[in-house]
């Protein structure tokens, strides 16, 4: 078995594969964990783009762990995606762009959910999202679930 750390974004999952798995198998596992479509994934190891039909044993020579870099092809400019929002107060979906910032999505949530006198923090796969970064840094794609933590302030604050 080989433990691969998937680098390239703010979320860095670790995926265990066999030496006989192919890069396509790995991309399927990445899709299952991050939701990123296989066609949009490019994987690089040791400055070399990995090909779908290659077996791990031919790419990661004799190692039991390694870091593979994932890059995701952007959607055409202006393409909107639907994200699933979940909080203890409310659930729903919202349309946005992968290139929008986390702060942009937080502001949309505040407006659409009618939230005032509160603090909103967004999480993707248990990772707190930095307001200054684009949603794509967290592999936010169509259908992604985002956890919304709402902290209400006391009246008068």
Separation CA 77–CA 94 (nearest Å): 18
Percent of the chain with pLDDT over 70: 98
Write the pLDDT tens digit of every residue in 76-88: 999 999 999 999 9
Query: How far is C-alpha 112 from the chain's CA centre?
Result: 23
Separation CA 118–CA 109 (nearest Å): 12
Mean pLDDT of the chain: 94
Residue 152's closest CA among 120, 130, 129? 120
Separation CA 5–CA 11 (nearest Å): 10
Q: Which residues have a Cβ under 8 Å from the Cβ of 15 and sit 6 or more positions away?
A: 3, 4, 6, 26, 29, 30, 33
Phi first, then psi: what are they for 29, rounded to 5°? -65, -40
Q: What is the pTM for the complete model shown? A: 0.90
Write the pLDDT tens digit of every residue in 25-54: 999 999 999 999 999 999 999 999 999 999
- Is the model's pLDDT at 57 over the cut of 60? yes
Q: Give CA angle at 112 (109, 116), nearest 5°.
A: 75
């Amino acid at each position: 078995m080989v433990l691969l750390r998937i680098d390239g974004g703010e979320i860095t999952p670790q995926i265990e594969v066999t030496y006989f798995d192919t890069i396509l198998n790995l991309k399927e596992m990445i899709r299952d964990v991050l939701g990123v479509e296989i066609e949009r994934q490019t994987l690089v190891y040791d400055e070399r783009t990995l090909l779908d039909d290659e077996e791990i044993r031919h790419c990661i020579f004799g190692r039991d762990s390694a870091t593979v870099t994932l890059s995701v092809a952007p959607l055409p400019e202006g393409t909107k995606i639907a994200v699933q929002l979940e909080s203890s107060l409310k659930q729903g979906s919202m349309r946005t762009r992968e290139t929008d910032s986390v702060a942009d999505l937080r502001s949309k949530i505040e407006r659409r959910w009618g939230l005032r006198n509160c603090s909103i923090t967004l999480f993707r796969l248990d990772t707190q999202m930095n307001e200054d970064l684009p949603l794509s840094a967290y592999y936010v794609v169509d259908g992604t679930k985002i956890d919304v933590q709402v902290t209400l302030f006391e009246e008068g604050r």
